[in-house]
Chains A and B, each alone.
Chain A
């Protein structure tokens, strides 16, 4: 541990001023290799490199966890340095960006690996050599893609395209990075004790409480001289439980909770979270299996509301410049906001903002913090939606119709070239209601529709946007007649689309921050925050998930 702290001190900066590159090993290595790349990297007869972006991410982690009072082995505090390299070949008007073969949406490096390395040596020479090899991979791909793109555009007669690389003002951002602090002494004992509280529910087969501290340090430099150095701290508590419901059906629970940046509040918060989770699990234990379909209003509570927006809003707002895929139908999954400016795309109750400039909200880290985007453009805060109507959408340097410049929302991951993405989404309702009022509104709507009962989704869920399907583990049924509630499982949401966003009827007064990895960037480390209240949505369809559980175990729990 001492070792890590010492290293970190060596890498922190004093008297930082945006404008000149920081004098540290990361920027020295990136800058030196960048100069060589832009000056000398050429394949005779192929297009020259036009733009290159280097991103180094140094991630520090410390995790401790326990189940039912027993420690689960974890690694000591550690860090890993990864590198992403993006190169385009051609020129500002037309270059290799935005084109990929239909069967291949990644760099085609050796061994099929993208221009990405997940573990880079922590030395100047090591970083240089890694960047050298990654740049070569990226450039070979880019020069090939450039030739293919030109041929494809000729075949399709696509001659009047907007420029592939629009100009932008110089951007830089420099943040002093504090040393990474490992979790506090005694944290292992604390999570042991917290997880031991699971023993009070005798049916819990596993009750894991984990405490995780991460610090992600980002170092970005591009060939136009834009750069950024910033970090994102993340403090989480996660809880995982396995049990069999009262019906004998296997059931698993997994949730993570952002802890505020002030560690003094953590012990009380962690205790509170564990108690609430156990109470929640106790309720879920009595869930009954339901097969009957349902169409009607659904209340998405708290984290479920974040999943709802992640499921339906984020894809519409992302990837707003479709890729040319070398086929007749290009990138059908790209975000449709690109041609809907001025149209109502969500309920008029909401204004929506995307604020990459914010690193925290009400003391909680925002995972989408991004001062400069992955094409070296200052990331602008956007007012996306006003009273339900689309005002703006995230864009990148490669322009779309009606757009004059990038607003700095290019996001890159291990398997994606920089594409338009969201960062910290704020869903701000015009009017809010208490939890009780939200449930009353739900019941009111049920009565209007003459439904015997309605549903509440209480926690986050998995989804498939392409298929319009989502899988809440349990939902809560609330009866119209007397407000009685019971937990139900075995249902999935079907037939949902971005159109569903227009059906939001009301919002709660419980706005909170929910950080998540964006599913749309498959396998990526691109993270985003969704700041939202609970939402009541009309016309959601639920039907049986067709899952058939095993019979219960024949041997009772020890």
Chain B
């Protein structure tokens, strides 16, 4: 307990120093949430077992989505958001209901949060939603705690002896931003116009052109006394094109634009150029020869490298992965040791909001457990230093570093924010390609690969499976020793994390941002990865799975011909 109090005191001055632009006391949701939380906590903390920590979150804002396909609007909606969420813990910080049960399958899944709109005149429903959730979750937590206790008594001891919870530091912070308005008709016209570009493309079986907005404020209070109001805004335009070869192999191109305001959205001209480029790539893929299994030198270009770092190493640097005894814990006990190529440093920095003028989706001020965000060096010149932590400690890492994240309706987990890989030495990209050719020749290989685009496949982190990964290449070039390149298709990158990350031999100076959303144990969270292009001494490729279906028997309707 002494240790807890000490840490608590240490953190207070840091957290209270943050500057906002509004007054907490003027925020009605915070006032009511605090009042209802305190009323519940006063009684529940005296229960047996006690509810020793509660947090309330209220998300107020709006969602907008527009989808255009083949010259028409396929779906559109605009909906206010007013979600009520409760999180609580039964037992005590040393052992509580959130502990994973050894040998028992458990999977947390999201539930649509209760909704209630708060007005100055009427707060009854708002209060009752929080009350109702609290009562129901308290019973669940108390029941789960008894299962945890039984599990601890009857199952093999867990190597990690750390507590299940560390109280987050007290924070008071109020930051608000006006909600943006959008000229939706203009955006719809833009999407419909570009969606027409693919109608007559014979290799485009399906397409989708989308605009989405999630914006608003998150109100957070907890039993420590934290009160937060923070804004969020995710504005995104993206499109995808799909096709299928005669052999059933599916091909795909995707592009997205993450912006801060409507003004930053691409113009019709820019979008048209990009879509045409994507169509050309899809056509090239449709004509391309099928790749063959190989173990050869490879460059993962910026975006592909960013996906690779995220999937293969990023997930293993999430603190929760080391807490669960049923997890593979690739990096357990390796702090201070060199785990990957000494060329590479990996950081998680949710305070980074822009990079090279590009908005970063993974940035935030406070995490979903009310902890202030901060940069963390995870791997420094190949040496493991830290993990992305939430308020669930692991051995050697007793406090959160602001990486407790979740989708609404899910419990929080330690998740990535803005994950950045940097290299201690870089070369211009052109030089990297020269180095690839040299490597191909040196190893006497018939070819190498340049992967321009990778999609998340999967990476096993559970102890019952090999610690391997399989990522789908979406745009890959076969490179011959004479420098000739040809598009190939149907290859997956496979391997294991420690081996593959130690095969990095050079990096470009072309840091590239890949914004996206990552779906994992705590739902989908906005996320950013930044990486330079990476040259690997070698990497293994295998043939990709194919669909059992052919392309449609008839060609797509030929509207131009029909008009004639």
| Contacts from A to B (Cβ < 8 Å) | 3, 32-33, 36-37, 40-43, 66-76, 78, 80, 110, 119-130, 132-133, 136, 139-140, 192, 196, 199, 205-206, 242, 550-551, 553-555, 557-558
Among B9-17, B126-134, B280-288, B314-322, the stretch that binds chain A is B126-134
A123: which B residues are within 8 A, CB to CB? 70-73, 192
Among B69, B77, B122, contact of A69 (Cβ-Cβ < 8 Å): B122
CA separation between A139 and B553, bound complex, in Å?
A: 9
Q: Given the known A-B contacts A68-B125, A126-B72, are A132 and B554 also in contact in the complex, defined by CB atoms under 8 Å?
A: yes
CA separation between A106 and B73, bound complex, in Å?
A: 28
> Which of B82, B135, B549, B553 has the largest number of chain A CB atoms within 10 A?
B553
With both chains docked as a complex, state the minimum distance between the C-beta of B84 and any C-beta of chain A, in angstroms: 11
CA separation between A71 and B116, bound complex, in Å?
A: 7
CA separation between A553 and B185, bound complex, in Å?
A: 49
CA separation between A14 and B121, bound complex, in Å?
A: 49
28 A-B pairs in the complex with CB atoms less than 8 angstroms apart? A36-B557, A68-B124, A68-B128, A69-B122, A70-B119, A70-B123, A73-B81, A73-B115, A75-B79, A119-B67, A121-B68, A121-B195, A122-B74, A125-B72, A125-B199, A129-B70, A129-B199, A130-B70, A132-B556, A133-B205, A136-B552, A199-B124, A205-B128, A242-B132, A555-B43, A555-B131, A558-B127, A558-B128
With both chains docked as a complex, state the minimum distance between the C-beta of B244 and any C-beta of chain A, in angstroms: 8
Q: Given the known A-B contacts A76-B78, A555-B135, are A41 and B43 also in contact in the complex, defined by CB atoms under 8 Å?
A: no
B443 at the interface (CB under 8 A from A): no
- Give chain B interface residues in 522-564, CB to chain A under 8 Å: 547, 549, 552-554, 556-557, 559, 562
A551: which B residues are within 8 A, CB to CB? 139
Q: Given the known A-B contacts A67-B116, A121-B71, A558-B124, are A36 and B554 also in contact in the complex, defined by CB atoms under 8 Å?
A: yes
Contact B116–A132 (Cβ < 8 Å): no
With both chains docked as a complex, state the minimum distance between the C-beta of B464 and any C-beta of chain A, in angstroms: 27
A33: which B residues are within 8 A, CB to CB? 557
- Give chain B interface residues in 72-109, CB to chain A under 8 Å: 72-82
Q: Given the known A-B contacts A126-B74, A133-B205, are A72 and B557 also in contact in the complex, defined by CB atoms under 8 Å?
A: no
CA separation between A76 and B75, bound complex, in Å?
A: 13
Contact A122–B72 (Cβ < 8 Å): yes
CA separation between A555 and B134, bound complex, in Å?
A: 9
B74: which A residues are within 8 A, CB to CB? 119-122, 126
Contact A41–B79 (Cβ < 8 Å): no
Contact A72–B117 (Cβ < 8 Å): yes
CA separation between A554 and B42, bound complex, in Å?
A: 11
A32: which B residues are within 8 A, CB to CB? 557, 562
Identify the closest chain A residue to B43 (Cβ). Answer: A555
Q: Helix, strand, loop or mixed for chain B's interface? A: mixed
Contact B553–A206 (Cβ < 8 Å): no
Contact B122–A70 (Cβ < 8 Å): yes
Known pairs A122-B72, A206-B132, A557-B128 / 15 extra A-B pairs, C-beta < 8 Å: A40-B554, A67-B125, A70-B124, A75-B78, A75-B79, A78-B76, A121-B69, A123-B192, A126-B70, A136-B554, A192-B122, A242-B132, A555-B40, A555-B131, A555-B135
A36: which B residues are within 8 A, CB to CB? 554, 557
Instruction: Count contacts on B: residues with CB < 8 A to the other chain.
Output: 59
With both chains docked as a complex, state the minimum distance between the C-beta of A474 and any C-beta of chain B, in angstroms: 21
B118 at the interface (CB under 8 A from A): yes
B44 at the interface (CB under 8 A from A): yes
Contact B77–A75 (Cβ < 8 Å): yes
CA separation between A397 and B552, bound complex, in Å?
A: 28
B47 at the interface (CB under 8 A from A): yes
Identify the closest chain A residue to B188 (Cβ). Answer: A3
Contact A126–B69 (Cβ < 8 Å): yes
A69: which B residues are within 8 A, CB to CB? 121-122, 124-125
A40: which B residues are within 8 A, CB to CB? 554
B36 at the interface (CB under 8 A from A): yes
With both chains docked as a complex, state the minimum distance between the C-beta of A307 and any C-beta of chain B, in angstroms: 27
Closest 10 CB pairs of A and B: A123-B72, A121-B72, A126-B70, A553-B135, A136-B552, A126-B72, A73-B80, A68-B125, A70-B125, A558-B127
B115: which A residues are within 8 A, CB to CB? 72-73
CA separation between A504 and B39, bound complex, in Å?
A: 54
Among A67, A80, A110, A554, contact of B549 (Cβ-Cβ < 8 Å): A110
A127: which B residues are within 8 A, CB to CB? 72
Identify the closest chain B residue to A65 (Cβ). Answer: B115
A110: which B residues are within 8 A, CB to CB? 547, 549
CA separation between A557 and B129, bound complex, in Å?
A: 10
With both chains docked as a complex, state the minimum distance between the C-beta of A554 and any C-beta of chain B, in angstroms: 6
Contact A121–B125 (Cβ < 8 Å): no
- Give chain B interface residues in 122-152, CB to chain A under 8 Å: 122-132, 134-135, 138-139
Identify the closest chain B residue to A204 (Cβ). Answer: B128
With both chains docked as a complex, state the minimum distance between the C-beta of A552 and any C-beta of chain B, in angstroms: 9
With both chains docked as a complex, state the minimum distance between the C-beta of A311 and any C-beta of chain B, in angstroms: 29
With both chains docked as a complex, state the minimum distance between the C-beta of B223 and any C-beta of chain A, in angstroms: 14
CA separation between A197 and B549, bound complex, in Å?
A: 57
- Give chain B interface residues in 28-57, CB to chain A under 8 Å: 36, 39-40, 43-44, 47
Identify the closest chain B residue to A550 (Cβ). Answer: B139
Contact A78–B77 (Cβ < 8 Å): yes
Identify the closest chain A residue to B132 (Cβ). Answer: A205
Among A42, A80, A119, A553, contact of B553 (Cβ-Cβ < 8 Å): A42
Contact A558–B79 (Cβ < 8 Å): no
B562: which A residues are within 8 A, CB to CB? 32
Contact B71–A126 (Cβ < 8 Å): yes
Contact B47–A554 (Cβ < 8 Å): yes
Contact B125–A206 (Cβ < 8 Å): yes
Q: Given the known A-B contacts A69-B122, A120-B74, are A129 and B117 also in contact in the complex, defined by CB atoms under 8 Å?
A: no
CA separation between A70 and B126, bound complex, in Å?
A: 8
CA separation between A229 and B274, bound complex, in Å?
A: 41
CA separation between A73 and B117, bound complex, in Å?
A: 7
Q: Given the known A-B contacts A123-B71, A558-B128, are A72 and B122 also in contact in the complex, defined by CB atoms under 8 Å?
A: no
Contact A557–B553 (Cβ < 8 Å): no
With both chains docked as a complex, state the minimum distance between the C-beta of A192 and any C-beta of chain B, in angstroms: 8
CA separation between A33 and B556, bound complex, in Å?
A: 10
CA separation between A490 and B355, bound complex, in Å?
A: 61
Contact B128–A132 (Cβ < 8 Å): no
- Convert B136-173 into 0s and 1s, putting 1 for each residue whose CB lies closer than 8 angstroms to a CB of A: 00110000000000000000000000000000000000
> Which of B44, B115, B118 has the largest number of chain A CB atoms within 10 A?
B115
CA separation between A196 and B73, bound complex, in Å?
A: 38
CA separation between A76 and B139, bound complex, in Å?
A: 37
CA separation between A488 and B557, bound complex, in Å?
A: 62
CA separation between A386 and B69, bound complex, in Å?
A: 52
Identify the closest chain B residue to A72 (Cβ). Answer: B115
Identify the closest chain B residue to A109 (Cβ). Answer: B549
Contact B132–A73 (Cβ < 8 Å): no
> Which of A37, A41, A121, A553 has the largest number of chain B CB atoms within 10 A?
A121
B70: which A residues are within 8 A, CB to CB? 121, 123, 125-126, 129-130
B43: which A residues are within 8 A, CB to CB? 554-555
CA separation between A461 and B445, bound complex, in Å?
A: 71
Identify the closest chain B residue to A33 (Cβ). Answer: B557
B116: which A residues are within 8 A, CB to CB? 67, 70, 72
CA separation between A558 and B130, bound complex, in Å?
A: 9
CA separation between A80 and B127, bound complex, in Å?
A: 35
Identify the closest chain A residue to B135 (Cβ). Answer: A553
A41: which B residues are within 8 A, CB to CB? 553-554
With both chains docked as a complex, state the minimum distance between the C-beta of A258 and any C-beta of chain B, in angstroms: 25
Identify the closest chain B residue to A46 (Cβ). Answer: B553
Identify the closest chain A residue to B77 (Cβ). Answer: A75
Contact B36–A558 (Cβ < 8 Å): yes
